[in-house]
Amino acid sequence: MTGHFITFEGGEGAGKSTQVKRLNDHLIKAGYDILLTREPGGSEGAEALREFLLFGGHSLSLRSEIMAHFAARCDHIDQVIKPALEKGKIVICDRYTDSTLAYQGYGLGKGDQTILSFIQKLILLIDLQPEQTFIFTIPYAIAQQRLQQRSQKTDRYEKQNEDYHHRVADGFIQIAKDHPSRCHIINGHDKMETIEQIIFNKVHQQFPDIIL
């Protein structure tokens, strides 16, 4: 594959989606061929599963919920991400496998090693990892303030209690520690312009062929 694969991760209200759009817009202006996508979702079938997982109101066992996320991910990879990479595009994805580890593994699964191992095996099976990941962190109180200011409907993960969100945040930090060459921790409470410049610099360092 000749393209590049960059992912953005983090808890609710951390500001990652804003920076996803900023990087996307900047790269397009610079003349690069970009695919901007998201998870769960990104393909027609995966978007249907997204609606089910976030707003369906159904109670699934943890393993089946994890498998549903990976079903959406496989369709997304096969129909959207891999074809774009094969065409040499820069793929920017808002959430990917790290979110499953953090939200289902550390959050719902409370860091149980059997669940984490189950997810990690599935990650290996799909055989497509990002080259670079930005993980956004932010204090819980500030994240909640931002969520309250949003006009969009609240999904089932956003409705989880404070302990859950702390476990998710700690999970993302652990993921960054486990993958230091791929993951960069971003303070989501910094000024947007400061965050933007940090990301631009990190992208260029990772991919010298991308000039920002």
The answer to whether position 22 is within a domain reads yes
In a domain, 169, yes or no: yes
Mean pLDDT over residues 58-71, rounded? 95
212 in a structural domain: no
Residue 168 domain boundaries: 4-206
125 found inside a domain: yes
Residue 64 lies in a domain: yes
User: Would you state the torsion angle of the CA atoms of residues 75, 52, 48, 164, taken in this order, to the nearest 10 degrees?
Assistant: -60
The encoded tokens of residue 146 equal: 């931002």
156 occurs within a structural domain: yes
- Count of Cβ atoms closer than 10 Å to residue 22 Cβ: 16
Q: Which helix (H) or strand (E) holds 6?
A: strand 4-10
Model's pTM, two decimal places? 0.94
Structure tokens at 80: 């959207």
Q: Is residue 211 situated within a structural domain? A: no
**Residue 45, C-beta contacts closer than 8 angstroms, at least 6 positions apart:** 72, 75, 79
With bands split at pLDDT 50, 70 and 90, how would you rate the model's confidence at 59? confident
Average pLDDT, the chain: 94
Neighbours of 166 (CB within 10 A): 14
Domain count for the chain: 1
Amino acid 210: pLDDT: 87
pLDDT tens by residue, 75-117: 999 999 999 999 999 999 999 999 999 999 999 999 999 999 9
CA atoms within 13 A on the CB side of 35: 25
pLDDT of residue 1: 65
CATH code assigned at 139: 3.40.50.300
Checking DSSP bridges between strand 90-94 and strand 4-10, what pairing results, if any?
parallel
Q: Residue 13: is its pLDDT beyond 90?
A: no
Residue 134 lies in a domain: yes
Q: What is the pLDDT of residues 190-208, one digit of tens each?
A: 999 999 999 999 999 999 9
